[in-house]
């Protein structure tokens, strides 16, 4: 989730951007706003709450097609897979979900095990953009397959990025589950990894302001090798999500392990 832009010239730039990020266009009929605090332990996929991407890709940079068959729940864990599978113009299928509602300031948390494989991108992020008739704002956690010992944090403000930082995970992000969180406020954006503050943004010009949708995705690329690593598919990969939560500013923390409980 990191490279999209806005319109006319914007439209052209925007397509390139969406390409580099892996963000899908949600049909207008599914777009809603005003998301409230929630916790989802993924006992099932609530199709009213989550939109499952299916039947398209985000451009030439992406070597897989989003497929609803690559989005499943097993034993209370969301699984987004990347695997062999023919579509009309791709040789691989991959999985993505996004909320139908948009969310604003608050605490965003997910417990995730990244997918394994050079050239893959395991992502937990928020995004809004031209497809939603908004300027491009975004907040990212991305584990890049070339080195799963790190996670990249980043944000876009009205299509302007350049805020990337690589953070050591302390182990391999694809060996087990880790807790990723960010606290988004008007004048501050803090990123946390396993309860530890790893990035603190206080420059208002680098903090998004537009409500966004929450995404999880696992996708691959043959062309973005400098960023994600040389694509080298050997077997199916899975991004696993044990839990996701959003706690609006001022609301009580919702589960004992929440970073919102620790800080409040």
Here the CATH number for the domain that contains residue 145 is 2.60.120.200
Mean local confidence (pLDDT), 27-42: 72
Residue 170 lies in a domain: yes
Which of 143-147, 156-160, 242-246 bottoms out in mean pLDDT, i.e. has the lowest? Answer: 156-160
Q: What are residue 113's DSSP bridge partners? A: 240
Residue 179 lies in a domain: yes
d(CA 205, CA 122): 27
Contacts of 236 (CB under 8 A, 6+ apart): 81, 82, 83, 84
When comparing pLDDT for 264 and 205, which is higher?
205
Position 181 in a domain: yes
pLDDT at residue 12 is higher than 90: no
Q: Choose, from 74, 96, 109, 142, the residue flagged as catalytic.
A: 142
Burial of 150 (0-12, 13-18, 19+ CB in 10 A): middle
Strands 237-248 and 38-40 turn out to be antiparallel
Burial of 11 (0-12, 13-18, 19+ CB in 10 A): exposed
Range of the domain at 89: 38-262
Q: What φ, ψ does residue 263 adopt, rounded to 5°?
A: -85, -20
Assess if residue 14 is contained within a domain.
no
Residue 138 designated active-site: yes
Which residue(s) pair with 39 in the sheet? 245
Which residue from 49, 48, 50, 83 is spatially nearest to 69, judged by alpha carbons?
A: 83
Q: Is 142 a catalytic residue?
A: yes
Residue 76 lies in a domain: yes
* Stretch 5-32: mean pLDDT: 39
Stronger pLDDT, 165 or 11, i.e. the higher one: 165
The answer to whether residue 213 is domain-embedded is yes
Instruction: Quote the tokens at residue 65.
Output: 């097609």
Tell me how many domains the chain contains: 1
Q: Residue 192: inside a domain, yes or no?
A: yes
The pLDDT-based confidence of 23 (bands split at 50, 70, 90) is low
- For the stretch 70-126, pLDDT in tens is 999 999 999 999 999 989 899 999 999 999 999 999 999 999 999 999 999 999 999
Tokens standing for residue 33? 């706003």
Query: Which of 6-20, 34-48, 122-136 is least confident?
Result: 6-20
Residue 23 lies in a domain: no
Query: Percent of the chain at pLDDT above 90?
Result: 81
Strand partners, 95: 218
What is the pTM assigned to this prediction?
0.89
DSSP state of 206: G
Kindly name the residue from 74, 96, 138, 185 that is annotated as catalytic: 138
């Amino acid at each position: 989730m990191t490279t999209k832009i806005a319109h006319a010239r914007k439209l052209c730039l925007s397509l390139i951007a969406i390409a580099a990020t892996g963000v899908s266009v949600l049909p207008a009929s599914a777009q809603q706003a005003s998301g409230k605090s929630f916790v989802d332990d993924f006992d099932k996929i609530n199709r009213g709450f989550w939109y499952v991407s299916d039947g398209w890709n985000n451009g030439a940079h992406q070597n897989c097609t989003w497929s609803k068959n690559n989005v499943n729940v097993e034993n209370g864990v969301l699984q987004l897979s990347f695997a062999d599978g023919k579509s009309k113009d791709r040789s691989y299928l991959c999985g993505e979900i996004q909320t139908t509602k948009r969310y604003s300031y608050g605490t965003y948390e997910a417990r995730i095990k990244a997918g394994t494989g050079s050239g893959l991108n395991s992502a937990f992020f928020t995004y809004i953009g031209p497809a939603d008739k908004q300027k491009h704002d975004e907040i990212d956690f991305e584990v890049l397959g070339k080195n799963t010992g790190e996670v990249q944090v980043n944000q876009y403000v009205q299509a302007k990025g350049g805020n990337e930082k690589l953070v050591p995970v302390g182990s391999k992000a694809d060996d087990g589950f880790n807790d990723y969180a960010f606290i988004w406020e008007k004048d501050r954006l803090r990123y946390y990894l396993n309860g530890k503050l790893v990035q603190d943004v206080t420059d208002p010009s680098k903090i998004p302001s537009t409500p966004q949708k929450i995404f999880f995705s696992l996708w691959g690329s043959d062309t973005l090798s400098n960023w994600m690593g040389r694509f080298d598919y050997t077997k199916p990969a899975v991004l696993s999500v044990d839990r996701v939560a959003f706690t609006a500013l001022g609301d009580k923390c919702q589960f004992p392990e929440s970073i919102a409980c620790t800080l409040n």
